[in-house]
Amino acid sequence: MRRLLILIVVVISSLTSVCGKTLSESARVLLLTCTPGTEVWSKYGHTAIRIIDIERKMDIVFNYGIFNTMANDFYIKFVRGETYYQLGIDSYASFDRYYRRIGRKTYWQELNLSLAQKQQILDALLENYQPENRYYLYNFVFDNCATRPYYLLKHALGDSIQSDYVGYAGATFRDAISHYTGKSSWVDFGINLIFGNKADKSMSNEERLFLPEELMNYIADARLKDGSPLVKHQDIAPFPDASVPWYANCWLGMVVFALLMLILTLLDRKRGKLRWGVDVLLGVVYILILVLVVFLTYFSCHPLVGFNWRLIIFPLIHICTRIVYILR
């Protein structure tokens, strides 16, 4: 309880120091990028904005990734894509301590901005933090903790940002997302199953910046119209490799499933009796997955969910291998 009260006092003092004040010439604006965590929603990393002004005794972090899992209807809204996130303000010391405690690194990039641009960013963040503005309908791809800082920065700089960083330019949403979920084979399998054909669309240069690492690398390479770099100083590194291991390949999974079904069918054919229990169990699984996808497609706000060929390939393999039994 004592630690909570101290934290509240620190945050309130930080807010008091920033609200209604203009930044000094020594003010600095930094883009923070946190490495991925173990939870599903943290596997892609995180982005926040840090503002330092020693003269104003200010060192705070604006964080668009605040949500409450303890809310009664959180998981229902999460499934339906109706989760509201909020902009939070915290002291940098508290922010850094939290990410160190959970074993996630934080990289930083100090941005090369004029005082007017820094002030514009701070004013926009404070406007976003007003009670009527701080909550927003989270969208995993198009409106998240990385896209909001990017568009805020773009608004302050206009069209002066230029970057030759390639990264995932031209890649599909599915490929980019799989890169971060690859080591969690079942998570990656589930995502690939419910993501529809929209996920196979090539991302534009801006669309790919929903990934915190992509935004970090894009900003690191960015230049202003006068040719000067957007980043004055930085401490960044590549995220830990999370690419899909060879054994988690979707095509390999289909081949293994086909071989297992064929072996099972040949054994049934040899003994002259079909194992209907397996067919019934798999049929129930197919129906449940189909119901889930239909629900998410028509009754949720998830932008990439929908029908795709992966939904029918497993039932087709199942049916084709069972035909072998019928043709004996």
The predicted structure's pLDDT at residue 247: 60
Asked, for residue 288, whether it belongs to a domain, the answer is: yes
* Whole-angstrom distance, CA of residue 102 vs CA of residue 41: 14
268 and 145 in a common domain = no
Residue 250: Cβ-neighbour burial (10 angstroms; 0-12, 13-18, 19+): middle
Residue 290 lies in a domain: yes
Examine residue 190 and state whether it is found in any structural domain, yes or no.
no
Query: pLDDT tens, position by position, for the chain (328 residues)?
Result: 444 334 444 444 455 455 557 899 999 999 999 999 988 888 999 999 999 999 999 999 999 999 887 777 777 777 777 889 999 999 999 999 999 999 999 999 999 999 999 999 999 999 999 999 999 999 989 999 999 999 999 999 987 788 889 888 789 999 899 888 866 677 777 788 788 888 999 998 899 999 999 999 999 999 998 889 999 999 988 887 766 665 656 667 778 888 888 888 888 888 778 788 888 888 888 888 888 888 777 777 788 888 777 778 888 888 888 887 777 6
* Residue 178 falls inside a structural domain: no
- Residue 55 pLDDT: 94
Question: What is the predicted pLDDT for the residue at 245?
Answer: 62
Whether residues 260 and 143 share a domain: the answer is no
Clarify whether residues 230 and 263 are in a common domain.
no
Q: Are residues 288 and 155 in the same domain?
A: no
Considering the domain boundaries, does residue 138 fall inside one? Answer: yes
pTM of the model: 0.82
128 shares a domain with 33: yes
Domains in the chain, number: 2
88 and 128 fall within a common domain: yes
- Tell me the pLDDT tens digit for each residue of 66-115: 988 777 777 777 777 788 999 999 999 999 999 999 999 999 999 999 99
Q: Are residues 101 and 215 in the same domain?
A: yes
**Domain range for residue 61?**
2-169+205-235
Q: Please tell me whether residues 127 and 266 are part of one structural domain.
A: no
Residue 244, in any domain of the structure: no
| Pairwise CA distance, residues 120 & 127, whole Å | 10
102 shares its domain with 24:
yes
Please give the angle made by the CA atoms of 70, 74 and 76, to the nearest 5 degrees. 145
- Inside any domain, residue 241: no
In a domain, 199, yes or no: no
CA 211/CA 279 separation, integer angstroms: 40
Question: How does strand 46-53 pair with strand 106-111?
Answer: unpaired
Tell me, yes or no, whether 306 and 157 share the same domain: no
Same domain for 281 and 132: no
Question: How confident is the model at residue 57, as a pLDDT?
Answer: 93
Query: What would the DSSP string read from start to end of 139-206?
Result: BTTTBSTTHHHHHHHHHHHTT--B----TTTT-BHHHHHHHHHTTSHHHHHHHHHHB-GGGGSBPPTT
- Write down the pLDDT at residue 9: 44
Q: Are residues 165 and 278 in the same domain?
A: no
Of 42, 83, 67, the residue nearest 242 (C-alpha): 42
- 210 DSSP 8-state letter: G
